Amino acid sequence: MARTTLPAARAEAVAAGGFALIEILCVLAIIGLLAGIILPAIPRTTTRAKLESYAVETAALLKADRNAALRRQIQVATQIDAAARLIRSGATGRMIRIPNDVSLQAMLASRCADRNAGRSIEFFPSGMSCGGVVTLARPGMGFEVRVNWLTGGVDIVPQKLL
């Protein structure tokens, strides 16, 4: 008994078993178009974890400036510019840029060591500082980075906002 195989029947069976390259390319093009439309509509807000990392980074910068003042026996001023959303180290020049969806507020001493301060937290060679509070907040969450004027210590305090 001889088997007869028709070439047209074999080609039809092979074609029914998979996808053509053109079909796959069409599906990928449709997915790309949908992604191009949907992704920009997704809000890119700062998450709680990212907000906390900004607070930790700010506290680390302030502690580094205090340590530099103690180590070098000089006065070091950390600049806080709430309008420009910028915190700049007085010892290293390192900057922290706060995103636009995060509220940056600073409560600073207007006078410190018989000088006008107002825009900075100053650390002295003794370890003391002018003190201040830097608040980073978003709706429903926030953190305060507090600098003690007597000890120069830096603490992070979570805030519950409405």
What is the DSSP track for 135-161? EEEETTEEEEEEE-TTT--EEEEEE--
Kindly state the tokens that stand for 49: 């974890």
**Structure confidence at residue 147 (pLDDT):** 96
**Structure confidence at residue 125 (pLDDT):** 94
> Domain 48-159 maps to which CATH number in 3.30.450.150, 3.55.40.10, 3.30.230.70, 3.40.50.2300?
3.55.40.10
**144 within 8 A of 134, measured Cβ to Cβ:** yes
**Structure confidence at residue 111 (pLDDT):** 82
**97 within 8 A of 84, measured Cβ to Cβ:** no
**Structure confidence at residue 151 (pLDDT):** 92
Residue (of 116, 54, 62) closest to 90 by Cα position: 62
**Report field, pTM of the whole predicted structure over 0.85:** no
* CA of residue 31 relative to chain centroid, distance: 30
Kindly state the tokens that stand for 126: 């003794």
Q: What is the mean pLDDT of each run of 10 residues along the chain (162 residues)?
A: 57 63 91 86 82 96 96 95 94 94 91 79 92 92 94 92 66
Residue (of 156, 141, 162, 155) closest to 46 by Cα position: 141
What are 28-75's pLDDT values in tens digits?
Answer: 999 999 988 887 777 678 888 999 999 999 999 999 999 999 999 999
The domain ranges of the chain are 7-41, 48-159
Residue 6 exposed, middle or buried by CB count within 10 Å (0-12, 13-18, 19+): exposed
